[in-house]
Amino acid sequence: MKLLRYGSVGNEKPAILDNDGNIRSLTEIVDDIYADELDKLSAVDVTALPIVSDDVRIGPCVANVGKFICIGLNYADHAAESGMELPPEPVIFMKATSAICGPNDDVIKPHGSTKLDWEVELGVVVGKELRYASEEEAADAIAGYCVINDISERAFQLEMSGQWVKGKSNDTFGPIGPYLVTPDEVDDPDNLKMWLEVNGHRYQDGNTKTMVYKPAFTLAYLSKFMSLQPGDVISTGTPPGVGLGQTPPTYLDVGDVMELGIEDLGSQKQTVVVAE
């Protein structure tokens, strides 16, 4: 299933994509897209659902995200372009859930921002509670996958004292979606093409096969340090080609347009706007 949420900010409604690319409303079936209630949708006759206009706003693809956890330096070539060593264990940091926005919403350039950057990432949505899980248990707990743009302000992240979270958590720094794609529709999450362009120039052109710590391992690892709950979102790292890694470094400015996507999971498009 390719599940999504549509409507104005804070008033999103549940939907599903049919085989012809039509958005079909699920409002008569479920209240929202909750990661632990997807079984309710497995027997739905999608063709009998009402079609929603395709010009509606698409919101974040899952409701009630409790934790937004990110894995840093999880692609060897990205670590190299960042001038950092590949970590012997996953690097964990958090993004504020208030950073979450729709896949095509504007990205706000914060006050004082000088090094606004992009990162296309594979998102993993947790569907079952996990504590001290095995990799097999973790794999079984994956509700689905999605596209994430891990927007980063590098000056906030790397040049100010403290943790990375301050450069990762501004409002609109977490576009998620358009779809929550269930595992049965993803042939091989460890071999998905991923890309990102800015103003039509392709900067990132990677594949999840070069990811160091794979999704099931990552979820099992995280469950040693915190319980994972249905709706938690894990952003699993980015391939090379970020602005920080360019020669010279290249950063986003107001008016720039990002387009990005991952094979089988859909695409996003955001315009950078000035903070009010």
Q: What are the tens digits of pLDDT across the range 132-142?
A: 999 999 999 99
Count of domains for the chain? 1
Specify if 184 maps to a domain: yes
Specify if 187 maps to a domain: yes
Specify if 199 maps to a domain: yes
What SS3 state is found at 234?
strand
pLDDT, mean of residues 153-162: 91
Specify if 149 maps to a domain: yes
Domain encompassing residue 68: 63-274
Q: Please tell me the distance from the alpha carbon of residue 242 to that of residue 153, in angstroms, as a whole number.
A: 12
pLDDT at 8: 97
Specify if 46 maps to a domain: no
CA 68 from centre of chain: 9
Q: Is the dihedral of CA 243, 219, 102, 189 positive or negative?
A: positive
Specify if 51 maps to a domain: no
Residue 163 pLDDT greater than 90, yes or no: no
Specify if 127 maps to a domain: yes
CATH number of the domain encompassing residue 153: 3.90.850.10
Q: Please tell me the distance from the alpha carbon of residue 126 to that of residue 160, in angstroms, as a whole number.
A: 32
Can you give the pTM of this predicted structure?
0.96
* 228-252 per-position pLDDT tens digit: 999 999 999 999 999 999 999 999 9
Q: Please tell me the distance from the alpha carbon of residue 176 to that of residue 228, in angstroms, as a whole number.
A: 19
Specify if 253 maps to a domain: yes
